[in-house]
């Protein structure tokens, strides 16, 4: 009697298919990075002919924040010059703004100063709740 | 002796055969819906700030400025005097335009001041300085 040859039935194991799929899913979920733009906002003044006539502000309503080329900050308020480190700028401005809500903060940056110092100072000013900020340079 | 019939417990089974189908469906959905945002501007390393807000992407025109002072607006290298008319053209296309600066942190402020003056002349007054979140 001839013995029948047993045929191997070829099969792909599908039990771990879901594991593979979930692994891929988790990989894509965790590596996807959303590129969201974030930054500090400011509205510039108009540059029309009428606007170039200087708007007169009372001296007591202006606080000048001067950043020199080394990034050192001087706050000039009410005729008093005071050197303020970056870490204490927020506290200082918060105090000034709370005393006079109409205070205009004039942020003057040296042309040779790094952009980073200006952004850091602007960030501190906005964090301190200053709403009227003007940018200028020498 | 009376025979007590055992109550047959109903077997609860969750069908797992279609689990992989669900997973692949989710996978395909994420793969298809992911949009890679690729900006070709110039390489800059942005400054860090804490009190930053989200900028609406739809109205933003990105101005790249690197540390050597090269200015690029939407893949075009421009010089400082050209910023005005480029931005005027953009403002004509989109009234709610936002000028969005991606400036290298080591750029000198003089260039930025000149660009800001150009923006004022072009009447593009809403400006954002892009920064990374400081942790």
Contact A67, A109 (CB under 8 A): yes
Shortest Cα distance, chain A CAs vs residue B76, angstroms: 20
Question: Is the overall model pTM greater than 0.80, yes or no?
Answer: no
Closest CA to A88 of A131, A134, A47, A120: A120
pLDDT in the model for residue A89: 84
Q: List the beta strands (DSSP E) in chain B.
A: 48-49, 53-54, 60-65, 71-73, 76-78, 98-103, 126-130, 132-133
> What does the mean pLDDT of chain A come to?
81
Quote the CA–CA distance of A124 and B99 in Å, as a whole number.
21
| Whether ipTM exceeds 0.95 | no
Q: What is the CATH number of domain A58-137?
A: 3.30.420.270
Q: Please tell me the total number of residues recorded for chain A in this structure.
A: 138
Q: Which of residues 39-78 of B touch A (CB under 8 A)?
A: 47-55, 57, 60, 65
Spatial CB neighbours of B107, under 8 Å, sequence gap ≥ 6:
A114, A115, B65, B66, B67, B69
Question: Is pLDDT at A86 greater than 80 in this prediction?
Answer: yes
Tell me which fold the domain B48-133 belongs to.
Nucleotidyltransferase; domain 5 (3.30.420)
Query: Which candidate from A123, A135, A137 shows the least CB-CB separation from B51?
Result: A123
Query: Which candidate from A22, A41, A111 shows the least CB-CB separation from B110?
Result: A111
Tens-level pLDDT at each residue, chain B (135 residues)? 566 777 777 788 877 778 778 888 888 888 887 777 666 667 888 888 888 888 888 888 888 888 888 888 877 888 888 888 899 999 899 888 989 888 998 888 889 889 998 888 888 888 999 888 877
Residue in the block written with tokens 């003057």? A108
Judged by a CB distance cut-off of 8 A, whether residue A116 touches chain B is: yes
Task: Delimit the domains of chain A by residue range.
Answer: 58-137
Task: Delimit the domains of chain B by residue range.
Answer: 48-133
What 3-state class would DSSP assign to A23?
helix
Categorize the per-residue pLDDT at A53 as very low, low, confident or very high, splitting at 50, 70 and 90. Answer: low
Query: Which candidate from B27, B53, B120 shows the least CB-CB separation from A28?
Result: B27
Bridge partners of A73, per DSSP, are A67, A84
Quote the CA–CA distance of B47 and B131 in Å, as a whole number.
5
Shortest Cα distance, chain B CAs vs residue A5, angstroms: 32
């Amino acid at each position: 009697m001839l013995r029948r040859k047993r045929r191997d039935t070829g099969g792909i194991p599908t039990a771990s298919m879901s594991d593979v799929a979930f692994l891929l899913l988790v990989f894509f979920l965790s590596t996807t990075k959303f590129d969201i733009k974030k930054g500090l906002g400011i509205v510039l003044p108009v540059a029309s002919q009428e606007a170039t006539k200087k708007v007169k502000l009372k001296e007591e309503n202006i606080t000048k924040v001067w950043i020199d080329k080394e990034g050192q900050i001087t706050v000039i308020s009410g005729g008093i010059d005071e050197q303020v480190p970056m870490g204490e700028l927020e506290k200082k401005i918060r105090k000034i703004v709370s005393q006079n809500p109409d205070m205009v903060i004039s942020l003057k940056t040296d042309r040779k100063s790094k952009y980073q110092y200006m952004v850091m100072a602007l960030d501190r000013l906005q964090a301190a709740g200053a709403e009227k900020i003007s940018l200028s340079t020498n | 002796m009376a025979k007590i019939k055992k109550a047959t417990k109903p077997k609860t089974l969750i069908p797992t055969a279609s689990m992989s189908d669900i997973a692949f469906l989710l996978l395909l959905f994420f793969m298809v819906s992911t949009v890679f945002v690729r900006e070709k501007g110039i390489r800059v390393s942005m400054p860090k700030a804490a009190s930053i807000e989200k900028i609406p992407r739809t109205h933003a025109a990105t101005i790249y400025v690197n540390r050597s002072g090269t200015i690029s607006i939407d893949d075009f290298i421009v010089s400082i005097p050209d910023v005005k008319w480029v931005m005027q053209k953009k403002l004509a296309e989109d009234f709610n335009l936002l000028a969005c600066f991606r400036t290298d942190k080591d750029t000198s402020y003089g260039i930025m001041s000149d660009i800001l003056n150009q923006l004022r002349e072009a009447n593009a007054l809403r400006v954002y300085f892009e920064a990374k979140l400081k942790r």
